[in-house]
Amino acid sequence: MVSEQQVWLGVMAVGIVALLGVSGFNPVDLLDTTDEDSMYSTADKKHPLAKECLGGHTADMIHYHAAVIIRVNGEFVPIPEDVGRPDGECPMRQLHTHSENNVIHIELKQAADVPIEAFFDVWGKHFDETGFDDYRVNETHEIVMIVNGEPNDEFNDYILKDDDEVFIDFKPRD
């Protein structure tokens, strides 16, 4: 026979489990030993310009280009052709590539400031002051961005302009 105390303990346990469930608590999170900061990707939350589908080329669009060169630990990382075209059900995103020449095509329906973050979001790669892709800044490595020959610390907030040359270098600290 179940005692009154056991009944109340059961009711309390069910109540606690219900409260934890409503609060979003997941007991599996207690077992996760990964460093959450190292797993964060800026591409997980896309910039609005990265979400918008351009469709195709029309004569009335704003169209300009920027070159983005990426080096990781001394090795150049090519930006693939056709980033953002086609992209799922979208024939072409407002930021895209046509070939592996590191030229980003920025084609807009209306004038807007276009942060470099929007391109990395289209590409699905992490980029900010904490690193590029799966490479993160730490005690032995740093990331440096140079725009048109000048150091720049805006990283993912940098607004792309026509004919920009952006160099991103993830490298060992000096």
Residue ranges per structural domain of the chain: 4-33, 42-172
Residue-wise over 29-41: b if at least 16 C-beta within 10 A, else e? eeeeeeeeeeeeb
What does the pLDDT read at residue 86?
A: 87
- Give the Cα separation of 39 and 134 in Å (integer): 8
List the chain pLDDT tens, one digit each, 174 residues. 666 766 565 556 565 655 555 555 555 444 443 444 545 788 888 999 999 998 777 778 899 999 999 999 999 999 999 999 988 889 999 999 999 999 999 999 899 999 999 999 999 999 999 999 999 999 999 999 999 999 999 999 999 999 999 999 999 998
- Candidates 106, 10, 103, 31; CA nearest to 62 is 106
Q: What is the pLDDT of residue 2?
A: 64
Take residue 36 and report the two structure tokens written for it.
């959450």
Does CATH place domain 42-172 in 2.40.160? no
Tell me the C-alpha distance between 132 and 119, whole Å. 13
| pTM (predicted TM-score) | 0.76
